[in-house]
């Protein structure tokens, strides 16, 4: 637990940010969780009202406060639509850190964050072992989508449909990469993120193909750690700071123009949260790296100048906007431009393409019924578009959409936008 002086300091910093909320209720109109529950406590305005008396609320109903703070997807939709510019995500993350300082971490989270995610080699070894034995506990469900399910009801997995761990993760097939600069004159650092590394290594392979095609030099160091968002979302700033430091050390001393990721969540975390939430001793290094961080489609379109091509027909493809890309970074046009530059893709816009899919990281684990309800609407919109393929720019969204479409018995492929572009070159 945090000491009392640290908690008081965090509470004071939080108070300074809360005054900007006018309680206008604009967040009600856009919050995906409020759309499901209709509860004021589930919307940003209600949570901010709760936080204004947090020091007293902690004493009177600490469990209730903790529960309400954790019933949030951290999708940033409220922040992106707030007329007062209130930094809602920043406020909620700091509030969760206060609650974790008060309660302490659960034993399970201590093991995951402080014993595994902060030790990448151990984390990789355990999941590598798990991939070898997962066939004993899983069975294939939908071959078009590539989903599986548990052979019997198990904790956490329950009745989910999911992508299995890759038989050969990226850190095994490509543990390190340092390729020369080609015709582009650009050298990038590549940060794949945990889900691409361990579940969707084919996304990274597609990225490498594209970089080679455009003459981009690639540096990918070994030993990269998680970006830290799972720990930070649980209020564990200590583990978050350790992960940031490990990653900064991996890229330190290297010359590159940009750091590129194919994961919307990692992109947003590195760009927005590393500089503001890490240890002060690392903030300058984190800010330097943050300024160079870009989503992969943004890099290809805005920096390399990839242009849309005239449509020649092909598979109907629709696109889902990841919250962390759309709301946090304002990147929406570039992934669509990348799809328009992909031969064999006939793009169709789905209804509510920019609404949350319901993943929300740990929200999906603790509030699966709500996550499923939000995701069901996303699946219905995908199916109604008539698309044969749904593309997105976030592997966590790919997992959630895979679950929802597979549960619905749909025969629609789920792919990253960079995979479709790589297929066309």
**Listed residues 257, 278, 302: the one ending a domain:** 302
Residue 100 CA to residue 64 CA, distance in Å, equals 14
Within a domain: residue 91? yes
pLDDT of residue 5: 59
Domain interval for residue 298: 170-302
Q: Which tokens sit at 334? A: 């570039």
Identify the helix (H) or strand (E) that includes residue 138. Answer: strand 138-142
State whether 353 and 255 are in the same domain: no
**Which residues, in sequence order, are bridge partners of residue 150?**
138
Residue 315 CA to residue 401 CA, distance in Å, equals 19
State whether 288 and 321 are in the same domain: no
Instruction: Give how far Cα 288 sits from Cα of 187, 218, 261, 271, 293, Å.
Output: 16, 19, 16, 10, 9
What mean pLDDT comes out for the span 376-398?
98
Nearest CA to 336 out of 306, 380, 379 is that of: 306
φ, ψ of residue 259 to 5 degrees: the values are -110, 125
State whether 379 and 347 are in the same domain: yes
State whether 175 and 284 are in the same domain: yes
More confident residue, 245 or 69: 245
- The sign of the torsion formed by the CA atoms of 239, 241, 242, 246 equals positive
Structural domains in the chain (count)? 3
pLDDT of residue 192: 98
Identify the helix (H) or strand (E) that includes residue 316. Answer: strand 315-319
State whether 234 and 251 are in the same domain: yes
Most confident of 30-39, 60-69, 387-396: 387-396
Within a domain: residue 251? yes
For the domain that residue 262 is a member of, what is the CATH number? Answer: 3.40.50
What mean pLDDT comes out for the span 289-311?
94
Residue 104 CA to residue 94 CA, distance in Å, equals 14
Task: Give the whole-number percent of the chain exceeding pLDDT 90.
Answer: 76
pLDDT of residue 3: 55
Nearest CA to 264 out of 297, 220, 310, 239 is that of: 297
**Listed residues 262, 279, 302: the one ending a domain:** 302
For the domain that residue 54 is a member of, what is the CATH number? Answer: 1.10.1060.10
More confident residue, 137 or 310: 137
pLDDT at 58 over 80: no
Within a domain: residue 143? no
- The sign of the torsion formed by the CA atoms of 120, 276, 66, 193 equals negative
Within a domain: residue 112? no
Query: Could you tell me whether strands 293-295 and 258-261 are parallel, antiparallel, or unpaired per DSSP bridges?
Result: parallel
pLDDT of residue 385: 98
What mean pLDDT comes out for the span 344-360?
96
**Listed residues 302, 323, 353: the one ending a domain:** 302
State whether 316 and 397 are in the same domain: yes
Taking only the tens place, the pLDDT of each residue in 224-269 is 999 999 999 999 999 999 999 999 999 999 999 999 999 999 999 9
Residue 8: pLDDT band (50, 70, 90) is low
State whether 275 and 358 are in the same domain: no
State whether 274 and 186 are in the same domain: yes
Q: Are 188 and 259 in contact (CB under 8 A)?
A: yes
Instruction: Compute the chain's Rg from CA coordinates.
Output: 21
Q: Count Cβ atoms below 10 Å from residue 178 Cβ, excluding itself.
A: 11
pLDDT of residue 122: 97
State whether 311 and 372 are in the same domain: yes
State whether 294 and 316 are in the same domain: no
Taking only the tens place, the pLDDT of each residue in 151-200 is 877 666 778 999 999 999 999 999 999 999 999 999 999 999 999 999 99
pLDDT at 57 over 90: no
State whether 291 and 346 are in the same domain: no
For the domain that residue 383 is a member of, what is the CATH number? Answer: 3.40.50.10700
Within a domain: residue 393? yes
State whether 256 and 177 are in the same domain: yes
pLDDT of residue 155: 65
pLDDT at 283 over 70: yes
pLDDT of residue 75: 95
């Amino acid at each position: 637990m945090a000491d009392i002086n640290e908690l008081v300091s965090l509470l004071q910093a939080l108070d300074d940010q809360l005054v900007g909320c006018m309680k206008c209720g604009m967040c009600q109109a856009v919050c995906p969780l409020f759309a499901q529950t209709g509860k004021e406590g589930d919307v940003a305005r209600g949570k901010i009202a709760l936080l204004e008396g947090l020091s007293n609320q902690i004493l009177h109903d600490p469990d209730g406060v903790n529960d309400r703070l954790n019933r949030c997807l951290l999708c940033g939709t409220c922040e992106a639509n707030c007329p007062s510019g209130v930094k809602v995500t920043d406020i909620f993350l700091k509030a969760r850190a206060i609650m974790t300082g008060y309660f302490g971490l659960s034993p399970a989270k201590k093991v995951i964050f402080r014993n595994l995610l902060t030790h990448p080699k151990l984390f990789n070894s355990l999941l590598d072992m798990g991939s070898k034995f997962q066939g004993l506990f899983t069975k294939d469900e939908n071959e078009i989508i590539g989903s599986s399910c548990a052979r019997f009801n198990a904790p956490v997995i329950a009745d989910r449909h999911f992508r299995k761990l890759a038989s050969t993760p990226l850190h095994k097939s490509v543990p390190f990469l340092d390729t020369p600069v080609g015709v582009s004159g650009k050298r990038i650092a590549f940060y794949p993120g945990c889900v691409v590394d361990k579940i969707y290594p084919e996304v990274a392979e597609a990225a490498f193909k594209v970089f080679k095609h455009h003459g981009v030099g690639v540096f990918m160091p070994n030993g990269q750690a998680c970006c830290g968002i799972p720990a930070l979302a649980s209020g564990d700033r200590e583990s978050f700071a350790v992960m940031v430091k490990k990653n900064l050390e991996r890229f330190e001393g290297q010359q590159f123009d940009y750091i590129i990721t194919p994961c919307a969540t990692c992109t947003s975390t590195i760009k927005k949260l590393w500089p503001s939430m890490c240890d002060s001793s690392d903030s300058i290094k984190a800010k330097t790296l943050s300024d160079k961080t870009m989503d992969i489609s943004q890099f290809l379109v805005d920096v390399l100048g990839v242009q849309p091509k005239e449509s020649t027909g092909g598979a109907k493809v629709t696109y889902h906007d990841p919250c962390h890309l759309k709301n946090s970074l304002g990147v929406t046009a570039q992934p669509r431009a990348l799809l328009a530059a992909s031969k064999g893709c006939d793009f169709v816009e789905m209804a509510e393409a920019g609404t949350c899919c319901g993943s929300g990281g740990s929200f999906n684990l603790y509030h699966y019924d709500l996550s499923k309800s939000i995701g069901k609407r996303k699946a219905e919109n995908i199916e109604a578009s008539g698309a044969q393929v749904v593309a997105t720019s976030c592997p966590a969204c790919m997992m959630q959409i895979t679950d929802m479409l597979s549960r619905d018995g749909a025969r629609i492929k789920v792919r990253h936008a960079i995979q479709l572009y790589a297929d066309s070159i």
